[in-house]
Structure 1
Amino acid sequence: MKNHNFIDLFAGASGMSEGFIKAGFNPVAHIEMNEEACFTIKTRSAYHYLKSENKLDVYYSYLKKEINREEFYKNIPDEILNSVINVEIDDNSIKDIFKKLVKEKGNIDLIIGGPPCQAYSLLGRHHDNIENDPRNKLYIQYGRFLKEFSPKAFVFENVPGILSANKGQHFKNLKTYFRKLGYEVYHDTLDASDYGVVQARKRIIIIGWKKESDFGFPDFEKSEKKYTVNEAFQDLPKLKPGEGYQYINYKEQKNKYLEKFNLRNGIDFVTQHISRPHNKRDLAIYKTAIRKWNHEQIRMKYPDLPEELKTHKNESSFIDRFKVVNGTGVSHTVVAHIAKDGHYYIHPDEEQCRSISVREAARLQSFPDDFYFEGSRSAAFKQIGNAVPPLMAYAIAKKMKDLL
């Protein structure tokens, strides 16, 4: 079976790409504006190359900081590193991008990706001038790639808010535009927790097919059961607030969840298990929130706090700013705000009493443990929060490959 070629637009940390590569697709380019995310993609592309060459020991040396990034990249062909294009897709850059990819014309089976979704999210709508936000029109740039490379199909991912933005007009315009480019367009809402991800994460998936090969909206295979956050975290060493390890051995054998979805991925140590520090007041709040959730299944609201733990008088907005991750079920949605503070992602274990680590956030998003996020701790959290869960992407990719 041939490897179908794809381009990943607005690639982020390449979570979506990871699922498609696992399903046997071949990435010819990733395009992303954030520099740290681009280094993450390069490092992951290096992993896939070294795996194909049976040289993963070089990758593990890098994870353990035995060699630096510059030395590590010397082991990777330039064509692989250069396939990651660090640029913002706009009217000024798009022609140069097409020049770099000129050899790929007629050679692309699929385009994937989701433009930045802040403009469509409910949080984003608090901005005064949201209707004129240029991010609302990024689907036009996406469409220019469809016009240039004429893939058989595309997969476009975004937040549910895209359906209702500007009273539904944006979505209507998007569908009309893609149809004018020669694609039949379908959409549905998927929940990542249906595909092995221990997180309730709803996303709009838009599928486009060239009119001569129209398969409608595919029926993606769901996981038979939902797993829990505690199962996803079970083998990770316990951490105190502010404690962390670039790499550390697992504390126990993998369980059925980790085995089934291959999150440990053959590696015998875990990377980036790093937690952020917290002050005494926050820790006291966390402990209150954890106890209330674990013992009473009640979400603590800000007005419920003892007076000595309150820091402001606003008790009517954002009253659920402290939230414990549900250990016995799936997590609430992981978003990029996790880079700012950990209040909304408190670890369910009272003994640890902290916000979740970088690796725990990655596990909630279903990234395998040998997936390395470049940049600072905050940069890693942001990349994880913005990502498409690889397990959900894999479910989409398997079906798309069958149909292609």
Structure 2
Amino acid sequence: MNFLDIFSGAGGLSEGFLRAGFTPVAHIERDIYACKTLETRSIYYYLKGTNQLDRYRKYQQSYYASNVERNRERAELINAVPENKLEPIMNLEISDDTLPYIFQRIDERLAHLQEEKIDLIIGGPPCQAYSLVGRARDENGMEEDPRNYLYKLYVRFLTRYQPKAFVFENVPGILTAFKGALFKNIQAYMKRVGYNIQARQLNAKDFGVLQDRKRIIIVGWRKDIEYKFPCTEAVQYKYNVIDLLSDLPKLQAGERSKNILYNLPPNRLLIDSNIRSDDDIVTHHEARNHVQRDLDIYRIAVQMWDLERRRLKYPDLPEKLITHKNLTSFLDRFKVVAGNQGFSHTIVAHISKDGHHYIHPDITQNRSLTVREAARIQSFPDNYFFEGPRTSNFMQIGNAVPPLMSEKLASWFKDHLTV
């Protein structure tokens, strides 16, 4: 079976469907760096399928090289794939103006694949307009944000291709936006074009992801197909978050990994969750620089958590370390990733700003998380290569659907959708 991925991001949702054996028809994403990440991942799957992963490893190893060398290696990587062997990855904003071209490219790809239909459409429009935090910060409650209505463009794909089912992922605030009126409109639009839908709040930690991450999954089924929401058993892992991180080279603030080797062999968690295999290497593992004041705060936050199991509140800091005037809201702006717990707090795109909300649990390292560590908490495998600058890498990871969560949903569809 095949799938179309719209509002793709860095590919966390599509990764699960690829692992479950679905064939991608196309990806559509407006962010250029996320598109390059999707392209690199698509090349990975092609090289894996043709027993040429040594070429991919060579490109991975260029991560710590100069930009000139990495660009040269990327060009060689792209040239290793024959024309038309990869699905189209369209770097476009989905709009009324771009839809005719997008539909043309999809139709051409279907013809190339000798396919008459699309089985599944997956994707989630940008969620900032639906988020509770975003609405609280905007004086109009995001009511005038055009992203509120991207679901109408999603429905245009349903109308044209009539897939058997679709998966629409978003933040919990989508159910309550505008006192629930927005979700009622979404339901009405989808029903009007021939789909029954059901929405549930799912938590990534129930899918084997060591992260407390609540998301709304809207599933729709064409009305001529027997309808059922995906049902999967909650995964019970007996691991802590530190087990995700302990094999990576230890770093101080401002340091980068000096080589591509791990400190330790992969543990059972890393193997079972497909995060690391024997031939993987370390990439995207470099720590931000932090000013001394922030490092002092990080140390206090980790000590408080380790010794008292208590979260640091900003007014608790010594007066010399307090620089913000706001002492009544966002008091947890410095937050430790709980290494001794079974799951982390939610990784969001704000990690791209400064890292204060994602302090490494090992006090001897005294820094915020690296891109690779954040990717692991999101369940991305170590062979997943994120393109673009570090800020973009963090945004791609924070906005993504955890691949482990997606894989379990995809496996359910594989078992219950008829070809």
**For residue 66 of structure 2, what is the aligned residue in structure 1?**
none
**For residue 70 of structure 1, what is the aligned residue in structure 2?**
75
How does 1:2-401 map onto structure 2 within 5 Å?
4-65=1-62, 67-80=72-85, 83-103=88-108, 104=110, 106-125=116-135, 126-129=137-140, 130-225=142-237, 227-245=239-257, 248-329=260-341, 330-401=343-414
Amino acid corresponding to residue 23 of structure 2 in structure 1: N
- Secondary structure at the counterpart of residue 84 of structure 2: helix
8 Å contact from structure 2 (residues 298, 367) kept in 1: yes
- What is the rounded CA distance, in whole Å, between the counterparts of 2:34 and 2:258 in structure 1? 18
Amino acid corresponding to residue 12 of structure 1 in structure 2: G
Considering only aligned residues, what root-mean-square deviation do their CA atoms show, in Å?
Answer: 1.4
- Secondary structure at the counterpart of residue 27 of structure 1: strand
- Secondary structure at the counterpart of residue 270 of structure 1: coil
- What is the rounded CA distance, in whole Å, between the counterparts of 2:405 and 2:283 in structure 1? 22
- What is the rounded CA distance, in whole Å, between the counterparts of 2:106 and 2:258 in structure 1? 36
8 Å contact from structure 2 (residues 285, 370) kept in 1: yes
Amino acid corresponding to residue 386 of structure 2 in structure 1: F
Range that drifts further, 67-76 or 41-50: 67-76
Per-residue CA deviation, residues 58-104 of structure 1 (Å, 9 max, x unaligned), is: 00110111752112111123335561000000111111100111233
Per-residue CA deviation, residues 172-212 of structure 1 (Å, 9 max, x unaligned), is: 11011101111110111110011111110000001111112
- What is the rounded CA distance, in whole Å, between the counterparts of 2:258 and 2:167 in structure 1? 34
Per-residue CA deviation, residues 103-144 of structure 1 (Å, 9 max, x unaligned), is: 337321000000000001111102134112111111111110
TM (norm. structure 2) is 0.93
8 Å contact from structure 1 (residues 289, 323) kept in 2: yes
**Aligned length in residues:** 401
Amino acid corresponding to residue 366 of structure 1 in structure 2: S
Q: Which portions of structure 1, spanning 4 or more consecutive aligned residues, are displaced by more than 3 angstroms? A: none
Query: Identical aligned pairs, as a percentage?
Result: 54
**Relative to structure 1, is the Cα distance of residues 51 and 93 closer, same or farther in structure 2, using a 3 angstrom cutoff?**
same
**Relative to structure 1, is the Cα distance of residues 299 and 47 closer, same or farther in structure 2, using a 3 angstrom cutoff?**
same
- What is the rounded CA distance, in whole Å, between the counterparts of 2:5 and 2:371 in structure 1? 24
8 Å contact from structure 1 (residues 246, 272) kept in 2: no
TM (norm. structure 1) is 0.97
- What is the rounded CA distance, in whole Å, between the counterparts of 1:265 and 1:17 in structure 2? 21
**Relative to structure 1, is the Cα distance of residues 34 and 164 closer, same or farther in structure 2, using a 3 angstrom cutoff?**
same
- Secondary structure at the counterpart of residue 132 of structure 1: coil
- What is the rounded CA distance, in whole Å, between the counterparts of 2:2 and 2:280 in structure 1? 32
Structure 2 residues without counterparts, runs of 5 or longer: 63-68
